[in-house]
A and B are shown apart, each in its own frame.
Chain A
Amino acid sequence: MSLFLSQREIRGLIKVGDLVIPGGYGFPSFSETGCIDHVDEVMAPTPAADVKDFKLLMKVFSVAPNALLKGLLRLMDKESAFPEPIGGLLRLLNVGVKGVVFSLYYSNKTSEFYQGPLVHEAIGYQVNCEMDESNGSAGQ
Chain B
Amino acid sequence: MADIYDFVIIGSGPSGGVLAYNLCKAGARVLMLEAGKAHSAKTFPRNEMTANASLMWSGGMDTSTDAGLLFLRGKVLGGGSIINQCLLDRFDDNAFDDWRARTGVDFYSSSTMSRHYDEVESHLALHTMEKCDWNRNAELYVEGFDKCGMEWAPLRRGQSNCGQGNDCVVCLGGCPRDSKQSSLVTFIKKAQQHGLEIETEFNVSQIIHGTNLVTVYGDQYGAARQVYGRRCIVAGGALGSTQMLLKSGFKDKLPGLGSNFTCHPQFMNIALFDEIVDAHKGAFQSVKSQDPRFRQQGFKLENVFAGPIAVSLLKPGFGLDHQRFMQKYRNMACIEVAIRDATAGTINIDKSGRLKIKKTMADADWQRANAGIRVVETLFNSLGARDVMKSPIKIGLHLMGGCTLGKDGRNSVVNEHFQVHDHPNVFIADSSIFPSAPGINPSLSIMALAHKASEHILAECGVSSTAKIKSKSPVVEVQP
Does B275 sit at the interface, judged by CB under 8 A?
Answer: no
Neighbour of B317 across the interface among A77, A105, A135, CB < 8 A: A77
Q: Give every chain B residue within 8 A of A107 (Cβ-Cβ).
A: 47-50, 309
Consensus secondary structure, chain B interface = loop
B333 on the A face (CB < 8 A): no
CA distance A103 to B23 in the complex (A): 41
Q: Is the CB of B49 within 8 A of A103?
A: yes
- Chain B residues with CB under 8 Å of A44's CB are 53, 59
Question: A84: CB under 8 A from chain B?
Answer: yes
Shortest Cβ gap from A106 to chain B (Å): 4
A130 to B179, CA, bound (A): 11
A96 → chain B closest CB, angstroms: 8
Contact digits for A11-27, partner B, Cβ 8 Å, 1 yes 0 no:
00000000111111111
Is the C-beta of B400 less than 8 angstroms from some C-beta in chain A?
no
Check A67 for interface membership: any CB of B closer than 8 A: no
B contact residues around A42 at 8 Å (CB):
49, 53, 59
The stretch among B84-92, B97-105, B158-166, B256-264 that forms the contact with chain A is: B158-166
Q: By the criterion CB–CB under 8 Å, are A25 and B327 in contact?
A: yes
**CB <8 Å contact, A120 and B49:** no
Given contacts A24-B320, A85-B66, A91-B68, contact A128 B178 (CB under 8 A): no
* Interface segment, one of B115-123, B169-177, B290-298, B379-387: B169-177
CB atoms of B54 and A127 under 8 A apart: no
- B318 surroundings in chain A (CB, below 8 A): 19-21, 73, 77, 98
Asked if A119 contacts B308 (CB within 8 A), the reply is yes
Decide: A139 near B177, CB < 8 A? Known: A22-B320, A45-B59, A123-B327: yes
Residues of chain A with a CB closer than 8 A to B68's CB: 88, 91
Chain B min CB distance to A90 (Å): 8
**Residue of A20, A103, A108, A128 with highest tally of chain B CB at under 10 A:** A103
CA distance A24 to B327 in the complex (A): 10
- Nearest-CB residue, chain A, relative to B316: A77
| A39-62 Cβ-contact flags toward B at 8 Å (1 or 0) | 001101111011000000000000
Q: A107-B47, A107-B309 are in contact. Are A95 and B67 (CB under 8 A)?
A: yes
Nearest residue (CB) in B for A105 is B312
Interfacial chain B residues near A91, Cβ < 8 Å: 63, 66-68
B179 touches A132 (CB 8 A): yes
CB distance from B343 to the nearest CB of A (A): 15
Are A98 and B326 interface neighbours, CB within 8 A?
Answer: no
Cβ contact within 8 Å between A135 and B50 = no
> When the two chains form the complex, which single residue of B40, B170, B175, B309 contacts A103, counting CB atoms closer than 8 Å?
B309
Measured CB to CB, the nearest residue on chain A to B160 is A135
A96 to B, closest residue via Cβ: B61
A109 surroundings in chain B (CB, below 8 A): 47, 49
Let me know if B468 is at the binding interface, CB within 8 A.
no
Assess the A25–B61 pair: CB atoms within 8 A.
Answer: no
Report yes or no: A99 in contact with B61, Cβ–Cβ below 8 A: yes
Docked Cα-Cα span, A100 to B66, in Å, equals 19
In the assembled complex, 17 residue pairs joining A and B whose CB atoms fall closer than 8 Å, in A order, are A19-B318, A27-B323, A42-B53, A44-B59, A45-B54, A47-B354, A77-B316, A88-B66, A99-B313, A105-B312, A122-B327, A127-B169, A129-B170, A129-B176, A130-B176, A137-B41, A140-B176
Known interface pairs A103-B52, A140-B46; 8 further A-B residue pairs with C-beta atoms within 8 A, sorted by A's residue number: A25-B323, A25-B324, A50-B58, A98-B318, A108-B308, A123-B329, A130-B176, A138-B42
Instruction: List residues of chain A with CB under 8 Å of any chain B CB.
Output: 19-27, 38, 41-42, 44-47, 49-50, 73, 77, 79-80, 84-85, 87-89, 91-92, 94-96, 98-99, 102-109, 119-120, 122-125, 127-132, 135, 137-140
